[in-house]
Every structure is written in C-alpha cells, then in structure tokens.
Structure 1
C-alpha cells in the first residue's frame, strides 16, 4: 500500500485542537473536534490523529502561547444596548362597591 501525501497539521490547527479539548464550558469528543478542524481549516483528519496530536502537544508551551494569542485576537467588543426605561409599577386598588342589601335575607332568629 502506498501512503498518500498528507498535509501536516499547522501549529494553529494543533492549538485549536488543544483549545477545544481543554475548553471547560463545552466538552468535545475527538470525533467532534475532527469535524470542527475540517470546517475551520479544511483539513481532513481522523479522530485518532486528533487524539495523537492532542496528547503529543498538550504540554507544549509554544502551542499554548499560540492559542492564547489567537483567543486574545478573537475577542469581540461587547455591544451595550440602551436600557429600557420603564415606568415603575404601581398597584391600583379596585374600588369595591358596598352592597346595602347584603345579608337582608338572613334572620338572626334562624341561627339561634
């Protein structure tokens, strides 16, 4: 069998793999990371290669520094929306009409 010419993973791709795997907010499997690498870098890579690259370079300072630089560049300015000014809610009491005829059909003698 003849091996195909394969593109090597760039440092940015390896940094992306390590960043996605170590992300505390979302847990990605190696299979999911391989799909993300294919989308972002257009490099076809299997989950075994992702696993091998991750375990080989996870303690590499050069790659960690590269991922920190990338994450700093991707920060987006926060968009502050105008706060809606709402009127304070004041509870309104309903006025109850007094019923003058209430209880006229009851006799006190009925209770004793």
Structure 2
C-alpha cells in the first residue's frame, strides 16, 4: 500500500502542531511502509517544497499562524491530495475546506485505521 511501483516508499507530509499526535501519525505511516516528513506550522522552512512532492498531505486545520486550508491553498498546482484533521468541526471549518476543493475531514480523536483509509482513498481519487 505504501510503495510506488519502483519500490520507493510514498511520502506522506504531516502538518500538525501537537507533537504527540504528530509522532503517533508518523509512527502509524512508517509502520505501514510510507516515508514521512513532519512540520509543526505552515511557516516551517522547506514545507512548501516537501508538500508539493508528497503523495498525500495530512493537515491540521487549526495551526499557529496560517491555517491548514490557507497553507494548502498556497501550494502550486497540481496540489497533492490532502486529508484534513481537526478537533473543532463546524461550519467555519467546513467552509475553509470547501474553498480549497473536496477533501476528507477527520475529527479528533480518530482511529489510526480511519486515517490510513482516508489517505488511501485520497491517493486513489486524487484529492
């Protein structure tokens, strides 16, 4: 599941300011055969280049500084598929996401299997 045809692991870029959750997500995807790169804010150096070359992004909606959807909107087209995560579901969150296209949204806390499934779907559907 986590490999390209040539055997290279797919890159998942994680943008999450909670270090415990960030580490848990990294571990989950590494154990599933992916490679991961993690950032704690949209202002971290190198994040745009890394995110643009990822096969999928996992992005927290609420971040210090620019929000997850705002950051995603700055990436050059074609943007990689993304799965957004949030502890604060509501109309404002849904509207922020709508402005960047159609994406999966998982509400914290979620099961690891749900996140793996959402990423798998996003990669297959391309959003």
TM-score past 0.5 threshold:
no
**Normalization by structure 1: what TM-score?**
0.22
**Normalization by structure 2: what TM-score?**
0.20
Larger Rg: 1
Larger helix share, 1 or 2: 1
Larger strand share, 1 or 2: 2
